[in-house]
Chains A and B, each alone.
Chain A
């Protein structure tokens, strides 16, 4: 098992390296003069541009530039935001906690809803309940997360006043209250895919020979479904959940915008709008690492659940 984790860590490092190269080169790919874009596109003198070129080593070979940049990253110097003149790292660390909490809450809600739905619709395959669940998931799948967010905001926050309309509170505990609606919108977005996936995984697991054996042993239906069948169906379910969580990192930008939450998602959108490259680079790097870690966690969990994976 340990060997498996090490192997995965190694490939993560490789991918991280490749991704960092891409992120680094993205800024250089922007049309126009790099120094000018860094300067912010206002009126600049030749001297300013030269100063910028010296500071960012733009006259050196590309490999050197990358080396300098990478060294800075590892040492903790992630550059400074053009717009806000604050170190990028400071900006990120002050806001990442909120995004973390939002995504975790959304993920938990997603699992809490999709797991029973998937199991029930598999067990009651073909019945009225199954069809109702299928219709619900089709509708939810078609709903943009931000639309759900807005409806929730309209109904639960504005009209009914159960939850705050926007913003975030102070501290983690208060945030559970503030972040409930946004995490609900993000979580429900993942329910459809997951529930459908779990349903078909459970159905196909249930038709296998080992379930026949389990029945022939006289085990209770509860044990057969919740232990023998579920344990087999859970691997594809976890894999999809991991992908969903990764895609949440994408939709978090939108949800944070909708609910005016200052996490790294809304920071990213603002930075993109203002061409604030250091911030964009920094956040992208963070998200890359997060995605890789999520994938690692999913792989490890899968290996725990299905022993056959460990030998691959």
Chain B
């Protein structure tokens, strides 16, 4: 019984030793997520509640971060704004993975005409900035956070598919795949049951990094007024609101920008740590 106890704290200690930054990042991110989840409870005001008598006020005991141009409490809007900012990237990356992983698997495994076609299409899509494609597509299909997420997710598919594909191609050369084929397993079975688990590490790292990008893109879309619509709050939208009043009350802009930055930094640090952890050159003790 003593032995298992020691193991757990040992693992934690080694995690701290090797990945200090990432541990801090995870804790910070966890805190942010917690605050956002609890926002209905802990937000001092209703984020949509307008109080035109107290517009554009600076920091005060009543409003810790002041109010915006419509008298809404900035702190509350900041807290609730996290919903779309945190869920959004998850959905975007989720869509990207849901379609990108199978595409990459098939593409990499078959390596024939289908692979060529898929890769060509991916290349064409990838050579254009996602932002741009999202802008144009949103103009066609309408704005709103739901469309934004779906469209962005769609445009992340090629990145993920490409990455999975190159991983699959490497795996295909391994001896165990040949062994599977010799035993007579079918291609889909090999792909899902054997090759896919070996790609997990790259997928996780890439997915983490994509979440950072997705957050940037969602915020950008909201900043342009194409993502989240009034009266909902979103960090990107708050940044846009903040820009308009930046001369009189910079708190809104600065605080929403900073929270976006901190979240992305945490995500990226975690991604880098995961990348270093899965690096085959790292000596595993």
Q: Mark B261-285, 1 if CB is under 8 A from A, else 0.
A: 1101100110010000000000000
Partner of A253, one of B140, B141, B224: B224
Which of B136, B264, B268, B272 has the most chain A CB within a 10 Å cutoff? B136
**Neighbouring B residues of A150 by C-beta, 8 Å:** 239, 242-243, 246, 253, 257
Q: How far is the CA of A268 from the CA of B136 in the complex (A)?
A: 9
Q: Shortest CB–CB separation between residue A202 and chain B, in angstroms?
A: 18
Q: How far is the CA of A144 from the CA of B212 in the complex (A)?
A: 11
A151 within 8 A of B: yes
Interface bracket on B: 35 or more
The answer to whether B131 touches A143 (Cβ under 8 A) is no
Q: Shortest CB–CB separation between residue B269 and chain A, in angstroms?
A: 7
Q: Is the interface of A mostly helix, strand, loop or mixed?
A: helix
B124 within 8 A of A: yes
**Neighbouring A residues of B139 by C-beta, 8 Å:** 271-273, 275, 280
Q: Which residue of B lies closest to A15 (CB)?
A: B124
Q: How far is the CA of A246 from the CA of B124 in the complex (A)?
A: 13
**Neighbouring A residues of B140 by C-beta, 8 Å:** 26-27, 29-30
The answer to whether B128 touches A291 (Cβ under 8 A) is yes
**With contacts A30-B140, A271-B139, A280-B136 known, is A250 near B129, CB below 8 A?**
yes
Q: How far is the CA of A246 from the CA of B132 in the complex (A)?
A: 10
A295 within 8 A of B: yes
The answer to whether B220 touches A254 (Cβ under 8 A) is yes
The answer to whether A284 touches B265 (Cβ under 8 A) is no
Q: How far is the CA of A271 from the CA of B226 in the complex (A)?
A: 12
Q: How far is the CA of A271 from the CA of B127 in the complex (A)?
A: 23
Interface bracket on A: 35 or more
Q: Shortest CB–CB separation between residue B252 and chain A, in angstroms?
A: 11
Q: Mark A287-312, 1 if CB is under 8 A from B, else 0.
A: 11001100100000000000000000
The answer to whether B250 touches A154 (Cβ under 8 A) is yes
14 more contacts with CB within 8 A, not counting A158-B247, A273-B139, are: A15-B124, A18-B124, A31-B142, A144-B219, A150-B239, A150-B243, A151-B257, A158-B246, A247-B130, A257-B223, A258-B243, A269-B135, A291-B127, A295-B127
18 cross-chain CB contacts under 8 A: A15-B124, A30-B140, A141-B212, A144-B219, A144-B220, A146-B220, A146-B223, A146-B239, A147-B239, A147-B253, A147-B261, A150-B253, A247-B129, A250-B129, A251-B129, A254-B131, A272-B226, A288-B128
